[in-house]
Amino acid sequence: MLTINSYEEFVSYEGQELGVSDWVTITQEKINKFADATDDHQWIHVDEEKCKTESPFGQTIAHGYLTMSTIPFMWSQILEVNNLERMMNYGIEKMRFVQPVLSGQNIRMRVSLEEIQNLRGAVKTNVKFIIEIKETGKKAVEGLATFVYYFKK
């Protein structure tokens, strides 16, 4: 895990990969719980028997937003930023769901620091993230996340 303590340390990583998370298994139980939490019970996510015969994948797939919702957990394995007053999620741009994640597959996230700006007491970072599928070697989700860090003075 990479540890950052100041704006100056952040700047030194601009344009570089920050790290890669551990693999996370997307189980049917996680998919079902996400369906319950979001009231999205579309059969392609939760009906294992119907998916065997009618889905082009032959089994259930994770919701795209479930895959995306793993970002904070995997992010916490990649980067620790200390000496903060607070941190804010600012947004996600250019996010694409590239490949569905099948129930039982493993995903991980790869992150690089694309751009950093000093905004009078705050640090705005644009971070490219790619969520990869272990079993296929393909991307599941990719995008550009923006975070704003307020370091203690």
**Does the pLDDT at position 153 exceed 90?**
no
Percentage of the chain exceeding pLDDT 70: 100
**Residue boundaries of the structural domains of the chain:** 2-151
Distances (CA, A) of 33 to 45, 108, 141, 153: 11, 20, 20, 42
2 in Cβ contact with 78 (< 8 Å):
yes
Give dist(CA 118, CA 36) in Å, integer.
41
CA distances from 76 to 47, 68, 69 (A): 32, 14, 13
Contact present, 116 and 127 (Cβ < 8 Å): no
Domain 2-151, CATH: 3.10.129.10
C-alpha span between 4 and 43 (Å, rounded): 43
SS3 56: coil
pTM of the predicted protein model = 0.91
pLDDT at residue 10 greater than cutoff 90? no
Binning pLDDT at 50, 70 and 90, where does residue 65 land?
Answer: very high
For 79-134, the pLDDT digits (tens) are: 999 999 999 999 999 999 999 999 999 999 999 999 999 988 799 999 999 999 99
What are the Cα distances from residue 143, in Å, to 8, 11, 114? 25, 21, 11
